[in-house]
């Protein structure tokens, strides 16, 4: 009887029931605990039966650039320790792969979600997720905290680029990312249950439940004030689509709904998500998310634990003080403050995902997948995504005289701007490090590289990051391509009340466009303030979002090999003050500069 859970011919539910009956309370609580790899020791895995290990991105761009084989060696080392524990329950190794396997050097970095939302292409998004799943599994990683299915209602939000759109229907359409990661459920699929199509698929996580894109003034981890009916219609609808596709896990938001923190929200987690929507996978906290239930932060840890677990959180990203967490939760169960039935429900859900992911049968990395990492097929897919995400906002000072497509055989082209030759800026946040950084942080093609490759042999390309008036006057340029935009950021670090183009971007354009016909390529995670002078002086303007590692997708379009397909996933406001004004209709503000769905074709 003890071997039922090890037998893959038995049903998943019978295997869960058998294994659960053999587990001690300590082993059960261990399964509910996710710890960070920096504190992951042999003892933590073997003696505490830790259920999951999370890899936080490096804090510094100067950290060792680990490739996929390095990760696979590390994860397999952890996994072998787990298999040596009393019951041999494998761990789930987890990371934030939100636009490709972005923590690993040399992987394919796809456009961030806001750019994918501009494509409106659900099939493309599914293919991107499938490619990401292969590059994840090649590194030994089983589980990614993606996709974000937030509906961003305010571009001041620091996670705006993690949202596909301000429009709920567009976000719902992009939930195809789930079936790309996990595989397409069959016709006989039991709705609400986690689903994975095989050992080379990755466990998905829909996040952040629920309403994190609707906080007041776009404040990250803020408060969303809405009726339940509006919360359900606007922010919860994408989760219903994810659940229908068999999403295995759902992460709870740091934010609040009508003043109540989501990490302790029994009604939304238990009554709605688990009971009404029928979700059978596991619910996971965010990094130290339960600590936010107490002020000062985490001051009454026992209360934080009891409130969050009783609310329905199954796995807690502790992620560092796991021994204290486990001791406190054990005490809470022994005192009856957390029912044993709640513990068993959480562990059942976690084991269900592990069995469905075939981790008991295939716990170690399939090294044959290493050839997929950063492969040409995946980079070509990313390049396609870039060109389909570009939104042409202006083309020519007169409608009858389009500026794009650009002439590949022009005599001399100026490429300028802070973002023209910087792969780090091009990729944005959550690339190698959490907050991203400038410079050659991964393998890829910058805009400058792409321009040099795209033009004719007789065309001279001159790069000057911030050219002076004197420099421009001393050279005879046919036209200029100027790439400006935001520095990388993430989460609260990206909250921005002003949304002006940094690094004197508008000033750089002003100097160049005053002398040379100019195309501006804006690299950003959201709409930014566009000064009237910038719009009037330039011949063309392209919103390129955060395109990732494949800059050739941009030159594919601006030189006319492909037409512009992208449509705005968010309303482009005229003035920042509009974001605080009530609006009517489909746009997030009235009288926008460019409405939701706007995007020109080249008119070739």
**DSSP per-residue string spanning 21-82:** HH--HHHHHHHTEEEEGGG--HHHHHHH---EEEEPPPS-TTS----HHHHHHHHHHHHHHH
Helix (H, G, I), strand (E, B) or coil at 600: strand
pLDDT of residue 603: 55
Examine the domain organization and report whether 34 and 77 are in the same domain: yes
What pLDDT, in 10s, does the model give residues 287-301? 999 999 998 887 899
Residues 201 and 324 in one domain: yes
Give the sign of the dihedral formed by CA 539, CA 545, CA 551, CA 557.
negative
pLDDT of 221:
97
Whose CA is closest to 388, among 179, 137, 122, 13? 122
Q: Is residue 272 one of the residues assigned to a domain?
A: yes
Number of independent structural domains in the chain: 2
Cα–Cα distance between 550 and 72 in angstroms, integer? 25
- Got the DSSP string for 427-439? H-SSBSBSS--SS
Question: Cα 104 to chain center, whole Å?
Answer: 15
Torsion angle, alpha carbons of 72, 130, 107, 166, to 10 = -120
Three-class DSSP category at 133: helix
Same domain, 471 and 345: no
Assess if residue 382 is contained within a domain.
no
63: left (phi over 0), alpha (psi -120 to 50) or beta: beta
Query: How high is the pLDDT of residue 583?
Result: 81
Per the domain annotation, does 383 fall within a domain? no
Contacts of 577 (CB under 8 A, 6+ apart): none
Say whether both 401 and 351 belong to one domain: no
Q: Say if residue 310 is in the same domain as residue 409.
A: no
Q: 383: phi > 0 → left, psi -120 to 50 → alpha, else beta; which? A: alpha
Of 372, 404, 429, the domain-final residue: 372
257 and 137 share one domain = yes
275 plus 394 within the same structural domain:
no
CA-CA distance, 135 to 97, in Å (whole number)?
10
Same domain (yes/no): 353, 471: no
Distance, CA of 182 to CA of 526 (rounded, Å):
29
Half-sphere exposure of 593 (CA within 13 A, CB side): 19
Whole-angstrom distance, CA of residue 115 vs CA of residue 546: 7
- Say yes or no: 279 and 246 in one domain: yes
Helix, strand, coil shares of the chain, percent, nearest 5, are: 40, 15, 45
Q: Which residues of the chain have pLDDT under 50?
A: none
Same structural domain, 330 and 427 = no
Residue at 378 is within a domain: no
C-alpha to C-alpha distance for 543 and 220, rounded to whole angstroms: 24
Domain with 253 in it: 4-58+72-372
Is residue 427 one of the residues assigned to a domain? yes
Asked which of 372, 399, 428 is the last residue of a domain, the reply is 372
Q: Find the CATH number of the domain harbouring 513.
A: 3.40.50.1700
The residues annotated as belonging to the active site are 286, 491
Residue 185, H or E segment: none
Do 257 and 405 fall within a single domain? no
What is the structure's pLDDT at 1?
Answer: 55
The answer to the question of residue 193 being in a domain is yes
Give the span between the Cα atoms of 58 and 104, in whole angstroms: 10
Q: What is the pLDDT, as a whole number, of residue 387?
A: 98
How many alpha carbons lie under 13 Å from residue 169 in its C-beta half-sphere? 3
Give the HSE-up count for residue 44: Cα atoms under 13 Å, Cβ half-sphere. Answer: 23
Q: Are residues 561 and 417 in the same domain?
A: yes
CATH number of 327's domain: 3.20.20.300
User: Residue 526, SS3?
Assistant: coil
Chain center to CA of 153: 17
In a domain, 354, yes or no: yes
Cα separation, 20 vs 454, in Å, equals 60
The total number of residues written for the chain in this structure: 604
Residue 602 domain-assigned (yes or no)? no
Instruction: Name 33's bridge partners.
Output: 316
């Amino acid at each position: 009887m003890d071997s039922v859970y090890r037998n893959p011919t038995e049903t998943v539910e019978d295997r869960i029931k058998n294994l659960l009956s053999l587990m001690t309370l300590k082993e059960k609580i261990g399964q509910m605990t996710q710890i960070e790899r920096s504190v992951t020791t042999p003892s933590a895995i073997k003696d505490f039966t830790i259920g999951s290990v999370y890899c936080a991105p490096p804090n510094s761009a100067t950290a060792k650039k680990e490739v996929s084989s390095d990760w696979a060696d590390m994860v397999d080392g952890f996994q072998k320790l787990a298999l040596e524990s009393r019951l041999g329950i494998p761990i789930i190794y987890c990371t934030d792969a939100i636009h490709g396997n972005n923590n690993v050097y040399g992987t394919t970095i796809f456009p961030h979600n806001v750019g994918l939302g501009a494509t409106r292409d659900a099939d493309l998004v599914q293919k991107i997720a499938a490619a990401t799943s292969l590059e994840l599994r090649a590194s030994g990683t089983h589980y990614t905290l993606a996709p974000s299915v937030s509906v961003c209602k305010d571009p001041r939000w620091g996670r705006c680029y993690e949202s596909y759109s301000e429009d709920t229907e567009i976000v719902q359409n992009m939930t195809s990312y789930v079936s790309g990661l996990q595989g397409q459920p069959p016709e006989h699929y039991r709705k609400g249950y986690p689903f994975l199509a095989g050992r080379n698929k990755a466990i998905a996580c829909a996040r952040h439940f629920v309403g994190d894109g609707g906080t007041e003034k776009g404040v990250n981890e803020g408060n969303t004030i809405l009726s339940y009916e509006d919360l359900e219609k606007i922010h919860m609808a994408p989760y219903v689509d994810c659940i229908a596709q068999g999403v295995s896990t759902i992460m709870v938001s740091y934010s609040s709904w009508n003043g109540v923190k989501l990490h302790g929200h029994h009604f939304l987690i238990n009554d709605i998500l688990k009971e009404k929507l029928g979700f059978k996978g596991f619910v996971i906290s965010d990094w130290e998310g339960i600590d936010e239930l107490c002020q000062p932060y985490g001051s009454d840890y026992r209360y934080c634990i009891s409130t969050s677990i009783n609310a329905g959180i199954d796995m807690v990203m502790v992620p560092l003080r796991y021994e204290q967490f486990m001791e406190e939760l054990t005490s809470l169960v022994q005192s009856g403050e957390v029912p044993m039935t709640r513990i068993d429900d959480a562990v059942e859900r976690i084991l269900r995902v592990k069995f469905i992911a075939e981790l008991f049968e295939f716990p170690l990395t399939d090294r044959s997948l290493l050839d997929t990492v950063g492969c040409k097929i995946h980079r070509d897919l990313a390049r396609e995504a870039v060109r389909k995400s570009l939104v042409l906002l202006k083309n020519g000072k007169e409608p009858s005289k389009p500026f794009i497509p650009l002439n590949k055989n022009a005599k001399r082209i100026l490429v300028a701007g802070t973002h023209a030759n910087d792969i780090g800026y091009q990729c944005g946040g959550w690339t190698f490090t959490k907050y991203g950084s400038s410079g050659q942080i991964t393998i890829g093609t910058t805009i400058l590289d792409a321009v040099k490759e795209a033009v004719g042999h007789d065309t001279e390309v001159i790069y000057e990051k911030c050219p002076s008036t004197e420099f421009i006057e001393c050279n005879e340029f046919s036209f200029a391509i100027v790439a400006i935009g935001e520095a990388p950021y993430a989460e609260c670090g990206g909250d921005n009340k002003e949304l002006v183009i940094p690094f004197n971007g508008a000033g750089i354009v002003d100097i160049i466009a005053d002398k040379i016909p100019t195309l501006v390529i804006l690299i950003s995670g959201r709409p930014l303030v566009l000064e009237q002078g910038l719009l009037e002086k330039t011949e063309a303007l392209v919103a390129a979002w955060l395109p990732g590692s494949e800059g050739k997708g941009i030159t594919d379009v601006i030189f006319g090999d492909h037409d512009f397909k992208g449509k705005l996933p968010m309303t482009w406001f005229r003035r920042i003050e509009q974001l605080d004004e009530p609006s009517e209709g489909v746009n997030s503000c009235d009288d926008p500069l460019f409405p939701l769905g706007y995007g020109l074709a080249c008119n070739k």
